[in-house]
Amino acid sequence: MPRPSRARVELVRKLGRGKYSEVFESVMLPAKRLKPVKKKKIKREIKILENYGAESITPALVFEYVNNTDFKQLYQLYELFKALEYCHSMGITHRDVKPHNVMIDHEQRQLRLIDWGLAEFYHPRQEYNVRVASRYFKGPELLVDYQCYDYSLDMWSLGCMFASMIFRKEPFFHGHDNYDQLVRIAKVLGTDELFEYIDKYQIELDPRFNDILGRHSRKRWDRFVHTENQHLVTAEAIDFLDKLLCYDHQDRLTAREAMDHPYFYPVVEEHRQRAAAAAASAAEATSSSATATTTGGHANAANNVTSDVLDQMLKHMDKRLKQFTETALRHLEAIDALDIYRRRIGRGQMPESGETQMFGGRHSDIAQGQRQIRIPTATISQTVALQNDPDPI
């Protein structure tokens, strides 16, 4: 999609709003029609969108209109991980990954990760604001006010989405506020594991958790399996979920590692088969083109003969041209020698009466500076004739 200028867009209706931005449906205007647009304080989002452009990321503030369908229909997250892998490789963390920010067009097989209003450039050991991400997708690091988080925050959010998908429970962690959100997480992942995480990073837990956190053991994932979702909960899916929903952000999979997980083998295999089919189709088209080229038969043979004749003619012409060039150079040398000879006679350095024998032998010798020029007598005769001919060539 080309990047339209703001002056070429007209707002139609409001589709929705978030804490930091609003979404409008718009139409493209004819060229040269200007519309004033109110400036907003979104410099960071603009800067981030200017820094990269990938197929799975909409690279503009004017977003394309996508025929969106319910996110619960999505059964493969491969393209979403691909989008995150790209933005993380560019040093950017999204910080607001959730179903509402994923637009899917199943008919066109396209996925878009949108709303980069909370995205930030990542720098190691830098402290960041914990008031990011939507409540149901906040990582534990945000809920315990740990500010030195990194790209793995996006992986937790994707883990929550994945759990909702395979267990058919949306949202998977449904807290009433940020404090209750951590309690809901601890009831699944366990409080002992939470305290280990807090001790490892020397985090001071808010005193309000003393009354609401309680003590909970880690639940097995099969506790969430029932008849309606059991076909989605495979061994690979459980292993994948375990490596995404970890208290310790350093233990979570990266986006690249997630793409390489066995859970996505069917997706990778499908892509491989499509690539192979496309390559086979291209090879077949090339073969058909080659067959069509050879159907001329005799005409091609005649063309080959004509080509051979032309090659021979060109070689012959090159040979004749080379011979002519050599002859012309010899003539020019002879003319120079004659001029030198005549100038010396005119200065009295070489009496004409005593030098006529120079032309009587097989060669004539003329001294010029420190070099000796030997000119065939026949060449001198040809040169005299060349000088008298007004158009020798």
* Catalytic center residues: 96
N-term to C-term CA, the chain: 64
**Number of alpha carbons in the 13 Å side-chain half-sphere of residue 23:** 16
Dihedral sign of CA atoms 77, 83, 86, 88 in order: negative
What DSSP string runs through 292-351? HHHTTTHHHHHHHHHHHHHHHHHHHHHHHHHHHHHHHHHHHHHHHHHHHHHHHHHTTSS-
Neighbours of 393 (CB within 10 A): 6
Q: How far is CA 294 from CA 70, 74, 288, 300, 360, in A?
A: 54, 49, 10, 7, 68
